[in-house]
A and B are shown apart, each in its own frame.
Chain A
Amino acid sequence: MILRCTLWIVVLFTTLAVDSHAAPPSKLALQGGRIIPVCGPEIPKGTVLIEDGTITAIGETVKIPYDATVIDVSEKVLFPGMISPHASQGLDRPNENLPVTPYLDVYDAIDPSSLFFEDALRDGVLAVHVIQGNNCVLGGLSRLVRPIGRTPDEMTIRPSLALKLSASPKSGSDRMQQMAAFRETFLELAFYLENLAEKRYEEELAKEKKEIDVGPEEARKRGAPLIRKEDLDDRHRNLVQLTEGQLDAWIYCDAATDVGPAINLAKEHGFLDRSIFVLGTEAYRAVQELKKADRPVVLPPDLVHRERDPITGELSETFIPEVIHEAGLLFALQPNPDSSLAERYLNYQAARCVRHGIPRQKALESITLNPARMLGMEDRLGSLEVGKAGYVVVLSGDPLDFNTWVEKAYVDGILAYDRTKDVRLKELLDLEEKSAEKEKQKEQENVESATQEEKQKESPAETKTDEKTGKEGEQDSEEGQKNEEEERDDK
């Protein structure tokens, strides 16, 4: 039984893997579809040409090379691959127990076999920013990955992108301790660097066989430029990169009151211009402070904030993107992959924004171009234009229509997803179909049996064998077992 189950999983993944890693056609033309490039006006009927993973031509009339594989996508919509800006789901667990862990890297925890990535593909999310969860003080390095590949290396689009910070208290802690931890971390960093500088100066002098000739103040000053990258230990290397400009900071602010301290922290240590603020539902109220800082924000998956008046008990609701949009801030939307509701679809989140009066263009950007900008990848991702990577989703209709599904997904020009070959989805839909059929059959049987009884029961055994989809009849058949396993997997 277990063996069979494992076997099935292996078979399944190999099929997917084979799909995604079949040698990509070097030239691919997606012809005749409605193109929504996001960066420019729509092309009602056009072609996207992808050569060696990069878009080389796009437009109504594109000269297709003779050796290109042409795929007809007429009646379909071509849309840039959507980007999940802030996800800790690809990790085996989102957080570390210790509060300050800048030496960690999500690389060590990314699970390529996680169903999360498969779901992302199915939902048209072709780039995922995998980052530590919010329950931390100062977390590890994040990484931008594509949801295909057998190893984290194969998946990686951009490694070591940002450090995760949380201005909101880690569980079991409070805001005093949270901020004290930050102060301690950066104070300790300064203390460490001073000592290191002194040591380095001493070392340099020792090379020239000289004794230290100045006071510690001066020695630290002179030693500071002598610090090499390899001198830094694990604990401090990434922190130095953060303060010196090689790493971005993604700072989580659960409540509005956390926004001010977060901005101050970033400003004080010189990474405000590389900070992205990830907001909780209540944090939008600090919109004035955010506006002053003028940094991009990632909105919470739950786009509506509900609040009760403490005196009257009246409930009021605020649609968060509306407030952020009015303030003119660059924002990205987050899906909620743990939700069984429609919130798990990024395009649904964007559609909700349009429904609340945000212009369609802004809503589309908030799931494609804006996260690409925040991740520093706007030259490769986020829109369909010449020079960008071939991250294309083929949709059955308008991206903001809820009846739309993903037909195909191309990652770097590789066909990474094909709905017709989506075994799991097929089984899921088949199951539904089958159960519907079963109902029908039962009804028919009832009628039949009634007539049969009248005809004095010809052969009751026959009806049993007919009942192929019925649970009892299915127990022995292989197929039935497969179905069951798959259901379990989905869960």
Chain B
Amino acid sequence: MKQVRLTARILLAATAMVWTSLVSDLSADSFAIRARRILPVAPDLPEVIEPGVLVVRDNRIAMIGSDIEVPLDLPVIDYPDGTLIPGLVAAVSDLGGNHPGDESIAAGYRAADTFDRYGNYAKFLAAGVTTVHINPGSHRLLTGQGAVVRLGGPAADRILRPAADLTINLGPDVYYPPQDVTYSFPASADVEIVPGRLQRPSSRMGQILGLEESIRDALAGKNFPEFSLHPPALAHAWNEKLPLRLRADRTGDLLAAIHFLREHERQGYLVGGAEADQVADPLRQANVPLVYQLPGRFRSPGSNIGRDPEAYGESILDFRKLDGVEIALAPSEAGSIGDLRLVAIRACGAGLDRARALAAITRGPARILGIADCVGSLAPGMDADFVVLSGDPLDLSAHVQRTYIRGCSVFEAPDQGPLIVKAGTIWAGPGMEWHDAQVLIEGGKIVDVGRSVPHPPFARVIDAGPNAFVMPGWIDSHSHLGLDGDKSQIGNEIRISQLIGVPDVTDLRVCRAGITTVLMAPYLGSGAGESTRTAMIVGGRIVLMTRPASPSGSAAPMGAPAAAVKTAGPRRKDRVIRDPAAVLLDVSQADPLSVQEMLAKPIDAGQKYLDSWTKYEKELKEFLEKKKDSKAATEDTKPVQEETKEMVQPDPITGTWEAVVTGGPLPAPVTLTLVMQLIGTNIEGRITHSSMGFTGRLHGTLTGNHISAVFEIDIPDITTPPQLEADLVAEDHCKGTVAVMGLSLPIEGRRVDKKPVELKVTQTRRTRTKDGRPLPPKVNEALEPLKNLLEKKIPAVVKVSTPAQIREVLDLFVDKHDLPLVLLDADGAAVHAERLAEKKVTVIVPPAVLQQRQYRDYHLADTLARQRVPIAFQSNAEDAARNLPAIVMYAVERGLDAEDALTALTAGAAKAMKIDDRVGTLEPGKDGDLVIFSSHPLQGPSRILRVIVCGEEVQP
């Protein structure tokens, strides 16, 4: 029984597989496309379908409508901001060009021959033109047979109508054709040289006469004097009843053309029609359609006419006079078919109504050219030729996003094109609110904000609607996003921003809540348990900050650099705004009286480091100036300095030591030889390791029984000098730890020789290059953040709690050193509100914002903001940062001004973190990070519609 079931299941699976393969075969050229609106330009369909769905099956439109259930087997292409219109049809083009023949009547030329079926017509497809008429020339009376072609798709399908019409041109352009010369063969004495044959027309009368005559002769089978292709071709075309395409501009020619058509009972249409308003009645009566070529050109001013009152065609027709005449629009002879939409817009201005203007570049020409059964409108059964526009087709600023021919995508706007966001309200920053405005983002940066912005080619447009509220992406001023709960400290070998990569699910969760930037901070240690960790992070980036003042030191301030990163973005490069963006210090657990002392040490160390760089920069500047002056590099012949140290008397340190390092990742204990000398309380010496073959310098201090020293060894992996901390436990015996690469390893040393060794210290590190250029000091990653802080490039974010701590921190940072300062948490900040407001020190309010003072609830954010203290918000969480909007809503509900809240989330936080050159406001030059809300986010019900980071929409 069981087996039977199994077989049945296998069979079922097999059928399913066959079925799916069949389905996928069918859907090869089949898909559905959703757009914001569709303008079908079809007689039986509404003018606008909004929103619209179009189903394409096997190159044709299968369904069109607003609420169509898309068949499950079809892929769906979404254009939520796009407008779909039929592919434009150009009834006049210059793709054919004039044939080079001399014949005035030459029905044998076929424009289809001149069409490059493999050509790349991206320039026209990018203007939305999919179908084009090409004619064999407009320089002779009858130039041949026109053709209708598609500008894209497989070469074999491109010619839609190889012989669409017989092209006849009337007017002065065709008068006086050259003589038709036939070359004698072979040119010899007995073969006469035939003189060139004069051809018609040379006047308006002559042109109709010439036509009539040649048609009559061709039909009679006359082909004299020399055999020619054209008379039989004309007879054939005439018998096939090819439509006549008559180009005429002047009233007389137009009337002659109408008369000619009626006389011969031929189908046909007029092209040109500069004076068509003069012949409106005959046109209507004869029911002859007109392809009107709009005068003027868009790409150059053209030539002057002067005072010629006879000059025609320079004013646009009054279309109101032409009611009831079937009209298609086309650019003038000098124009380009890429300007078809411009032509329609101009005609619209001259009295053609919108619907007729759009039809005049789509269904109108399709009907006139006899191809309305497959192109020109969007209706079931028609070829799937359509264009996705970024806006209304008659809006100059709309651009083509994509063009399809027979269901094949033949043009697509470049991927990283500019983006325009339109909305009812754009809150660009505090005090910068625009109504009915637009933002232009190009290359990930904001280029323009205002009532009107440029619409560069291929720009995508998001029209968020009149109620929408657009504002800069929100900033979470203290977050641990991306750490995944890892509370260990990071050494200086890696930067915290290296933890982020392609946005993952947690990043996107936060991003979709509207938070586009976070200050990515390591977890700050708290509580007594952290003191053991202190040892673990020795040698890390914060080594100098954590060294205890005394061996039995109390809770030390923990600190680390934090990075400003985005929650989305294509590459890490785009995601990291700044690293380090702040130096994080924690004095919240410390005794207020020791706060200054604790913080002074890192500041001093940083200052020393900064000074070395300042000195170098000064020297370099001097050197460059000197070099510029002398223009001749002088060889620095200064010999390498050698320092000789004097011998001193034996003491507890001086002599040769053998030290054994054990534990940690070391496979076996390592024995080092240390040769040391005590000079005062300073230790100088040399370190060697015979088997690993490195030697280095050693220097440090002796404080009582405590030795602390630094090994300067040149090993590529070790960027921070190893740090020795040891105590003399007995005579000639010391014990302690050595911190290397973030590890703390036990070391035990014994003095094997008390003899002072004469140290001939060779300064291995030269300070200048050969040509005298100063060498930069060694980069110390541990001190880089502090250097940045002291240069006031990044702020110190100090976690404080009590008013006393705040006072001490303010004294030190603001008053003494004048450094940029941001307070984190700062429960007691309200006490110092006045001073904070005066010094413009931003307070990152704690996530749990409700405080109590004197048994009364109060809201810290509101209280501080009311006293003009700049504030910022934090989540102090990873992906729980997604709840930040709720926290802020609560603050607003508790009294915080909505404007202040928005500022705190954007410009305020960015300014405090000194990243306001990149984010925080919507101003030209800033990153294109913005959030579109359905309405004001902090005034009432509102939801996020879209989030855009670096000009790219973050897909849900």
Contact = CB atoms under 8 A, between A and B. Distances in A.
Chain A contact patch, size range: 20 to 34
B316 interface: no
B113 A187 contact: no
Interface string A456-482: 000000000000000000000000000
Contacts of B223: 191
**Residue from A257, A260, A309 with most neighbouring chain B CB atoms (10 Å):** A257
A138 to B, nearest CB: 13
Contacts of B110: 176, 179-180
Interface in B109-131: 109-111, 113-120, 122-123, 126
Nearest to A192: B227
Contact of A187 (B100, B114, B119, B232): B232
Interface stretch (A83-91, A167-175, A324-332): A167-175
A232 to B, nearest CB: 15
B101 A257 contact: no
A285 interface: yes
Contact of A285 (B96, B118, B229): B118
Interface in B695-751: none
Interface string B73-112: 0000000000000000000000011011100001011110
B155 A256 contact: yes
A177 interface: yes
A442 interface: no
A193 to B, nearest CB: 12
Interface residues of B, number: 35
Given A174-B99, A311-B123, A180 B108 contact: yes
**Residue from A174, A179, A261 with most neighbouring chain B CB atoms (10 Å):** A174
Contact of A311 (B97, B118, B144, B414): B414
Given A176-B113, A183-B229, A309 B97 contact: no
Contacts of A173: 100
B185 interface: yes
Nearest to A178: B113
B111 A176 contact: yes
Nearest to B124: A310
Contacts of B119: 257
Interface string B364-384: 000000000000000000000
B100 to A, nearest CB: 6
Contacts of B232: 187
B287 interface: no
Judged by DSSP, the binding face of B is loop
Given A180-B109, A180-B110, A311-B414, A174 B118 contact: no
Contacts of B666: none
Contacts of A172: 100
Given A98-B183, A187-B232, A257 B115 contact: yes
A420 interface: no
B229 A184 contact: yes
B136 interface: yes
A285 to B, nearest CB: 5
A234 B115 CA distance: 34
Nearest to B457: A311
A175 B100 CA distance: 10
B118 A255 contact: yes
Contacts of A184: 108, 227-229
B22 interface: no
Contacts of A191: 223, 227
Contacts of A235: 185
Contacts of A174: 97, 99-100, 114
Contacts of A175: 113-114
Contacts of B106: 180
A196 interface: no
A176 B144 contact: yes
Interface string A132-171: 0000000000000000000000000000000000000000
Nearest to B117: A257
A257 B97 contact: no
A257 B227 contact: no
Contacts of A432: none
B183 A257 contact: no
A261 B228 contact: no
B118 to A, nearest CB: 4
Contacts of A288: 155-156
A312 interface: yes
Contacts of B156: 260, 288-289
Contacts of B155: 256-257, 260, 285-286, 288-289
Contact of B120 (A98, A286, A310): A310
A286 B117 CA distance: 10
A379 interface: no
A188 interface: yes
A256 B136 contact: no
B227 A286 contact: no
Given A175-B113, A257-B115, A312 B227 contact: no
Interface string A251-271: 000011100110000000000
Given A180-B101, A257-B118, A285-B118, A311 B126 contact: yes
A314 to B, nearest CB: 11
Nearest to A283: B118
A203 B744 CA distance: 120
Contact of A255 (B116, B136, B185, B186): B116
A177 B101 contact: yes
B414 A312 contact: yes
Contacts of A312: 414
Contacts of A187: 227, 229, 232
Contacts of A285: 118, 155
B292 to A, nearest CB: 26
Contacts of B97: 174
Contact of A177 (B99, B115, B122): B99
Nearest to A308: B120
Contact of B136 (A176, A178, A234, A257): A176
Nearest to A311: B122
A250 B379 CA distance: 47
Interface string A419-463: 000000000000000000000000000000000000000000000
Nearest to B99: A176
Given A177-B99, A177-B100, A184-B229, A310 B111 contact: no
Interface in B208-249: 223, 227-229, 232-233
A185 B725 CA distance: 103
A289 B232 CA distance: 30
Contacts of A311: 122-123, 126, 414
Interface in B161-201: 183, 185-186
Nearest to B411: A311
A188 B115 CA distance: 25
Nearest to A99: B183
Contacts of A261: 113
A199 to B, nearest CB: 16
Contacts of A260: 117, 155-156
Contacts of B120: 309-310
Contacts of B100: 172-174, 177
Interface in B808-857: none
B101 to A, nearest CB: 6
25 contacts: A98-B183, A173-B100, A174-B97, A174-B114, A176-B110, A178-B113, A179-B110, A179-B113, A180-B229, A183-B229, A184-B227, A184-B228, A184-B229, A187-B229, A188-B229, A255-B116, A256-B117, A257-B155, A282-B118, A285-B118, A286-B118, A289-B156, A309-B120, A311-B123, A311-B414
Report, nearest first, the 3 A-B pairs whose CB atoms are least far apart.
A184-B229, A256-B118, A179-B113
Interface of A: 98, 172-180, 183-184, 187-188, 191, 234-235, 255-257, 260-261, 282, 285-286, 288-289, 309-312
Given A180-B99, A187-B227, 16 more contacts: A98-B183, A176-B99, A176-B144, A179-B113, A180-B101, A187-B232, A188-B227, A234-B186, A255-B116, A257-B117, A260-B155, A261-B113, A282-B118, A288-B155, A289-B155, A312-B414
